Amino acid sequence: MLEETDKGTVLGAALELANTQLLVQSGIEAGLDAQAMGLLAMDGALLGVGVAGRELVGSLWFVPVVALLLGAVLCLALRFGTEDDLGPRAARFYFRFGAAPAAHACEQLLADLDAAFASNARRVRAKERGLTAVRSILLGSVFTTWLLIVPSLVIRII
């Protein structure tokens, strides 16, 4: 069994690790948010091209546009859906555990930070899946537009 000083050292190291993991996780999520905004910009450009080229595409020009609008809404939902869970508020935690033994307070803080990490991990996975869906929508829209344009080009060439 660990002696009390060893337990305090291990607990301190675990708290530092939990803080580092939350910081890294927050950076990963910021990167995913940046990807969502980049995809939104690409989506907007493709929307402009789709509307401008509607005569070339033909009567079904609205099909890729509707898909692109869906992608734009999904990007916005991914970006502005929720906020990071950073663990307990510092002052609230202090007032709740300030009079408790230090080891107990630190153990509770470690449990709270672990719960925040788990909550963030679910959200990060959901954002990753959402970004994959947006990429698929964008590629599908471009491919659909291509399929709609080719017959029009062939008719114009002949």
pLDDT of residue 2: 57
Q: Tell me what the mean pLDDT of segment 39-65 comes to.
A: 86
Residue with tokens 């470690």: 110
Q: Supply 56's token pair.
A: 């070339």
pLDDT of 15 over the 90 cut? yes
Domain boundaries, the chain: 4-157
- d(Cα 116, Cα 96) in Å, to the nearest integer? 18
Q: Is the entire prediction scored with pTM above 0.85?
A: no
Query: What secondary structure, in 3-state letters, does the chain show?
Result: CCCHHHHHHHHHHHHHHHHHHHHHHHHHHHHHHHHHHHHHHHHHHHHHHHHHCHHHHCCCCHHHHHHHHHHHHHHHHHHHCCCCCCCCCHHHHHHHHCCCCHHHHHHHHHHHHHHHHHHHHHHHHHHHHHHHHHHHHHHHHHHHHHHHHHHHHHHHHC
Cα torsion 116, 119, 121, 127: sign = negative
Q: 49 falls in which pLDDT band (50, 70, 90)?
A: confident
pLDDT digits (tens, 9 = 90+) for 94-142: 899 888 898 899 999 999 999 999 999 999 999 999 999 999 999 999 8
Mean pLDDT of the chain: 88
Q: Tell me what the mean pLDDT of segment 52-57 comes to.
A: 81
pLDDT digits (tens, 9 = 90+) for 67-86: 999 999 999 999 887 777 88
